[in-house]
Amino acid sequence: MKVYLLGAGPGDPGLLTLKARDVLAAADAVVYDALANPSLLDHARPDAERIYVGKIADRHALPQDEINALLVRKAREDGGKVVARLKGGDPYIFGRGGEEAEALVAAGVPFEEVPGVSSAIAAPAYAGIPLTHRDFASSVTIITGHESPDKPGSVHNWPALAASASTLVFVMGMKNLPDIASRLISAGMDPATPAALVYRGTTPRQRCLVAPLEELPAAAVAQGFSNPSIIVVGEVTRLHASLDWFGKKPLLGRRVVVTRAREQASGLADRLARLGAEVIQFPTIEICEMEDHAPLDAAIAGLDAYDWLIFTSVNGVRHFWRRLA
């Protein structure tokens, strides 16, 4: 009996850690979030139970207290199970992993936390924005942007944030972007401070917008930016233009359907993904043995009567040689 709180990373399935992959392969049940790349479930056993508990704005599959109870219940089932709790990014960076860990401790259920690559770090990196740079910033501050602008007070020290030379990274803040920009400027930050948005960072749908802080909210509306986006404020965003390696992938933003048989599609799918495409594997054929081998056996028995032997695919070659043997 054990629950593993796994960081699924920011979206690129290649950023999953080796330890998280191994836990997924051994788990009896996988409880996963909306921001965990669905392809990561391919690492799980075919017989493993898969339970979706994703939370998108105004659409929660389960409230947090019910997720906590679910983890405890699944871990105790059938004398004890291994449960993989797959969470987008890092479980402890605005992922409520700490709350889930506390619930497990209170219930006497053993757990481990397996860190993941946080979107707060990875999304800017894929957009060519190093969060620290010797010429621009020597520290990073990661801040929740999910605060309600209507509440009387704020947990953030806006004057300190505005005066800091630190790069500011706001997560889950698109709804409050106008308020964030306004508060920073009101607290003394230069309205011309460069800032950026990174939408769905590390995925084939990634987009980036760089603008002065005071213009960022209007530019975001004009260009259709929404959640999930990372907000980065600071001089390092100037480097996007020269360091945007991911945005130069030739198939970025393209969605490609691969219809080959599933066992043969992975090579092509991997090559397309490396070029930036969003790949959907949708097999429309299945390669299987013939029900009656008599015609093939007769042809094989009379091979010396043929001048040419023509194969139309690698599948024909494979199955012919298998039958010949």
- The catalytic residue positions are 33, 55
Q: Would you state the structure tokens that stand for residue 46, as one six-digit string?
A: 């075919």
Cβ density class 19-42: b for 16+ within 10 Å, e for less: ebeebbeebbbbbbbebbbeebbe
Cα(267)–Cα(283) distance, integer angstroms: 14
Q: For residue 125, which phi and psi values (nearest 5 degrees)?
A: -60, -45
Place of tokens 């060519």: 128
- Cα separation of 193 and 214, whole Å? 8
Place of tokens 């005066």: 163
